[in-house]
Amino acid sequence: MTIHLAAFLIAGNAAHSQVLWRHPQSQPGGFLTLDYYKRIAQTLERGKFDLLFFADRLAVSTRFGGDHRYGLAYGDQDATRMDPLPVLGAIAAVTSRIGLGATRSTTYSQPYSLAREFSTLDHLSAGRAAWNVVTSVNQGEADNFGLRETLGHDERYDRADEFLDVTHKLWRSWQPEALLLDADGGHYADPDKVNPIDHRGTHFNVRGPLNIPASPQGGPVIIQAGSSHRGQDFAARWAEVVFGIQPDLARMHRFYQDLKSRAEKFGRRPQDIKVLTAVMPFVAASKEQAEEQRARHNAMVDPAVGLSTLSSHMNVDFSKYALDAPIDDIQVEGMQGLFKLVKELSREGSLTLADIGRLYASGVLVPQVAGTAAHIADWMEHIVAQQGADGFVITPAHLPEGFDDFVELAVPELQRRGQFRWDYEGDTLRSHLR
Ligand SMILES: Cc1cc2nc3c(=O)[nH]c(=O)nc-3n(C[C@H](O)[C@H](O)[C@H](O)COP(=O)(O)O)c2cc1C
């Protein structure tokens, strides 16, 4: 058994933790510099991670309080997000094996330009590109791209299905042997092996072919994190990696079973989709030290930051609701799966809106685990054995050194137990995921 490991990043001030930029161990403003990403990526590659990936959104928060000023003043999850693709281009130059994932939206991109971006990254990284497909739920994003409002739920996924169909056709538009490079004969490529795609659809008309030869992986690894029924069907149809946030084993298991059981409907095998569940680990030489690290992180949390991020995720202004009341009768248009979880947790723990804000600011709803390497490895082993996940998305509490303890302590423990690779076996990201 090999546990798969991904790292969660945002090319900005936060990760799931919105305390990250204020954490005393974080490098102030480092997230705007290349050295910061280089340091992180090289640590993760030393730890033999399958991939690192950047989440993304295309607007600062404007929902909370109906204004951009709150999220920016607090430094919430959307206060700064640089474009992940140029960052990955730079990381590709200083790493050689780790997979490189970027989020791009099907609502606010065009298939032709997106196919070029990921084909380019796949060439330059020698087969390590991944695309986290999102459909975008947030009004701030609509406002930046000339839409009066965000697309309706089903329309988002109709467009996304057609988008994936078109990009896959473009990535296949050059047969692998089409590039001849016959310098003596003067034959660059064999035009019979490069085909227009002539796509005529509801949302896109694309002639093709792509203006880039077939890339090492033939197309990026597809990642997805939809949580509605339609979103999970979309994942079961297209995704090779599915990323989830579930706070406990029972929920992880339900999510895992649900997703894998949908695969067959789309002619795929359950093992073709790797489900990775998010966790924020605090690893130290003793349990007490790890708990101390966790407490230090969580003590910095301000509920308003979390509510600003929650407003952005759910596309609802939570500044309008009472902080000391429960929240279960609010209807949202945004990330419905995550909101269902918010409501369940609120009911189960009798949490108020302020409590939820605090929880959200400390790491959205990602579970935290604090302990020694053995403790963390036990936790991970148990979840994988109980089919709660095929692996984990590790989310940091501070950066750029926030993965160091995990790589130096927990990874060797997993390796000694035969749960994780000692070294990469293949060169491409897709080969790591086997
Ligand atoms: C773990 C996780 C990570 C996500 N990352 C992003 C992201 O980086 N950018 C984004 O716009 N949406 C992101 N989303 C939102 C999803 O793509 C999706 O729109 C949302 O979960 C709502 O599900 P639905 O579209 O199936 O209703 C994420 C969701 C989850 C659960």
Which residue(s) pair with 370 in the sheet?
282
The reported pLDDT for the residue numbered 311 is: 94
Residues with Cβ within 8 Å of 369's Cβ and at least 6 positions away in sequence, in order, are: 279, 280, 281, 282, 375, 376, 379
Residue 291 DSSP class: H
| pLDDT on residue 1 | 62
Query: How is the chain split into domains, by residue range?
Result: 4-280+371-432
User: CB 30: neighbour CB atoms within 10 A?
Assistant: 16
Residue 380 Cβ inside 6 Å of ligand 1? The answer reads no
C-alpha–C-alpha distance, residues 114 and 354, integer Å: 40
Query: What are the pLDDT tens digits along the chain (434 aa)?
Result: 689 999 999 999 999 999 999 999 999 999 999 999 999 999 999 999 999 999 999 999 999 999 999 999 999 999 999 999 999 999 999 999 999 999 999 999 999 999 999 999 999 999 999 999 999 988 999 999 999 888 888 999 999 999 999 999 999 999 999 999 999 999 999 999 999 999 999 999 999 999 999 999 999 999 999 888 899 999 999 999 999 999 999 999 999 999 999 999 999 999 999 999 999 999 999 999 999 999 999 999 999 999 999 999 998 999 999 898 878 678 787 787 888 888 888 888 888 999 999 999 999 999 999 999 999 999 999 999 999 999 999 999 999 999 999 999 999 999 999 999 999 999 999 999 99
Q: Is the dihedral of CA 104, 109, 115, 117 positive or negative?
A: negative
Which region holds residue 433: left if phi is over 0, alpha if psi is between -120 and 50, else beta? alpha
366: left (phi over 0), alpha (psi -120 to 50) or beta: beta
Token look-up 């032709």 returns 112
Contact 94, 38 (CB under 8 A): yes
Nearest CA to ligand 1 atom 27: 228
336 close to ligand 1 (CB < 6 Angstrom): yes
Tell me the residue type at 158: D
- Closest residue by Cα to atom 28, ligand 1, is 225
- Cα distances from 15 to residues 76, 395, 402, 404, in angstroms, run 10, 7, 11, 16
Counting from 1 in the atom list of ligand 1, the atom nearest the Cα of 103 is 8
Contacts (Cβ under 8 Å, ≥6 apart) of 192: none
Query: Rounded to an integer, what distance in angstroms lies between the CA atom of residue 290 and that of residue 293?
Result: 5
Q: How far apart are CA 169 and CA 47, in angstroms?
A: 35
Residue 328: the pLDDT is 67
How many A from CA of 102 to the centre of ligand 1? 13
Q: What CATH class is the domain 4-280+371-432?
A: alpha beta
Compute the distance between CA of residue 6 and CA of residue 240 in angstroms, rounded to an integer. 13
What's the N-to-C CA distance of the chain in angstroms? Answer: 11
pLDDT tens for 298-331 read: 999 999 999 999 999 998 999 999 898 878 678 7
pLDDT value of residue 337: 81
Q: Is the dihedral of CA 80, 85, 89, 94 positive or negative?
A: positive
240/266 Cα distance (integer angstroms): 13
Query: DSSP of 176-190, one letter per residue?
Result: TT-EEEETTTTEEE-
Structure tokens at 289: 């030290």
Q: CA 65, 398, 16, 132 torsion: positive or negative?
A: positive
Q: Which atom of ligand 1 is nearest to the CA of 230?
A: 26
CB atoms within 10 A of CB 267: 8
**Which residue has a Cα nearest atom 20 of ligand 1?**
335
Closest CA to 131 of 239, 9, 274, 270: 239
CA–CA distance, 186 with 380 (Å, rounded to integer): 56
Q: Report the alpha-carbon distance of residue 431 to residue 434 in Å, rounded.
A: 5
Single-letter amino acid code for the residue at 142: A
Burial of 50 (0-12, 13-18, 19+ CB in 10 A): buried
Measured CA to CA, the distance from residue 432 to residue 434 in angstroms comes to 6
Do 430 and 240 form a contact (C-beta atoms < 8 A)? Answer: yes
Residue 335 alpha carbon, nearest atom of ligand 1: 22
Closest atom of ligand 1 relative to the 229 alpha carbon = 26
Burial 167-193 (b: 16+ CB within 10 A, else e): bbbbbbbbeeebbeeeeeeeeebeeeb
Atom of ligand 1 nearest to the CA of 244: 1
55 lines ligand 1 (CB under 6 A): yes
For the Cβ of 9 lying below 6 angstroms from any atom of ligand 1, the answer is no
Rounded to whole angstroms, the Cα distance separating 160 from 226 reads 12
> Is-contact 15 401, C-beta < 8 A?
no
- What letter represents residue 363's amino acid? G
Ligand 1 pocket test, pick from 8, 57, 137 with the greatest ligand atom count within 8 Å of Cβ, gives 137
d(CA 233, CA 259): 8
pLDDT value, residue 335 = 83
Minimal-distance CA residue to ligand 1 atom 1: 244
The CA distance from 140 to 426, in Å, is 41
